[in-house]
Amino acid sequence: MSSSKPTTSPVSVPEAVVNRLSMYLRELQHVVAAGKPTTSSSQLGRRLGFTDAQVRKDLAHFGHFGHPGIGYRCQELIDAIRCILGTDRQWKVALVGVGNLGRALLGYRGFDPQGFEIVAAFDAELSKVGNEIESVPIYDIARLREVVSAKQVELGMVAVPAEHAQAVADQLVEAGVTGIVNFAPVTLKVPEGISKVGVDLARELEQVTFAVANRLRSAEHGAELDQTEATKTGS
């Protein structure tokens, strides 16, 4: 028996699984773009450096997606994963902070195809206000509540200096966003019922140095290299 509908009941799955769902989604989109209608857990895994068992186990959290003798129908699995991730529709996003990082985020090509549209940007520096970057209008941060509400923004990206991040997050929550992605190097407090993810760029480097240091320790101990450490995350 196979079913292409994801389980819609609430599921509690590890963060790392959700992370890998995003990676499967991107890979499936590449496969479709290459004109192939179907794929398999081993093909998908090989492209990303995971075992086929890992791919099947991750997807099994949400339902049964394979078809006997066929494997996965790519578009069907794409639709299912987008439904699971909540990106089977567009999300309106506001960016706060138009410094170098904010500008990079406005220019980032990866958001739109995945269902994220930055509809407004905010900055406290009045010389930036009134301009557009990548067709996104920049507003005075004093107007955050009004604009977020008028444009029905649901998600906020915080790209301001650490000392302003909590105040900005508070304003976003008051204005009605339901989720925040924080790029400032500080831990934000948000009320219950608001989702948040922190992006700490040094943390990504530490994942790499951990793997390198671990490999050196393995070598010192004469142990086999742990391949799963060497290639544990894709991209």
What is the per-residue binding string for its own copies in 163-202, x denoting contact by CB under 8 A? ---------------xxxxx-xxxxx-x-xxxxxxxxxxx
What is the per-residue binding string for its own copies in 48-87, x denoting contact by CB under 8 A? x-----------------------------------xxxx
Q: Which stretch binds its own copies (CB under 8 A): 34-42, 70-78, 137-145, 212-220?
A: 212-220
Q: Which is nearer to its own copies, 67 or 99 (CB)?
A: 99
In the complex, what is the shortest distance from the CB of residue 70 to its own copies, in angstroms, rounded to a whole number?
A: 24
What is the bridge-based pairing of β-strands 38-39 and 72-73?
Answer: antiparallel
In the complex, what is the shortest distance from the CB of residue 69 to its own copies, in angstroms, rounded to a whole number?
A: 28
Q: To 5 degrees, how large is the angle CA 96–CA 105–CA 150?
A: 45
Q: To 5 degrees, how large is the angle CA 193–CA 16–CA 88?
A: 60
Residue 121 to residue 148: CA distance in whole angstroms: 10
Q: Which stretch binds its own copies (CB under 8 A): 15-23, 34-42, 64-72, 136-144?
A: 15-23
Q: Which stretch binds its own copies (CB under 8 A): 69-77, 122-130, 136-144, 224-232?
A: 224-232
Task: List the one residue from 32, 101, 124, 175 that touches its own copies (CB under 8 A).
Answer: 101
User: Alpha helix locations (H) across the chain?
Assistant: 15-33, 41-48, 52-60, 74-85, 100-107, 144-150, 162-175, 201-220, 227-230
Identify the three-state secondary structure at position 225. coil
Mention every residue, 6+ apart, whose C-beta is less than 8 A from residue 52.
40, 41, 42, 44, 45
Instruction: Report 135-164 residues binding its own copies (CB under 8 A).
Output: 154-155, 157
Mention every residue, 6+ apart, whose C-beta is less than 8 A from residue 169.
156, 158, 180, 182, 188, 189, 190, 196
Q: Which is nearer to its own copies, 124 or 190 (CB)?
A: 190
Residue 58 to residue 60: CA distance in whole angstroms: 5
19 is in an annotated binding site: no
What is the per-residue binding string for its own copies in 107-136, x denoting contact by CB under 8 A? xxxxx--xxx--------------------
Task: Mark the binding-site residues for NAD(+), compressed into ranges.
Answer: 97-102
Task: Mark the binding-site residues, compressed into ranges.
Answer: 97-102
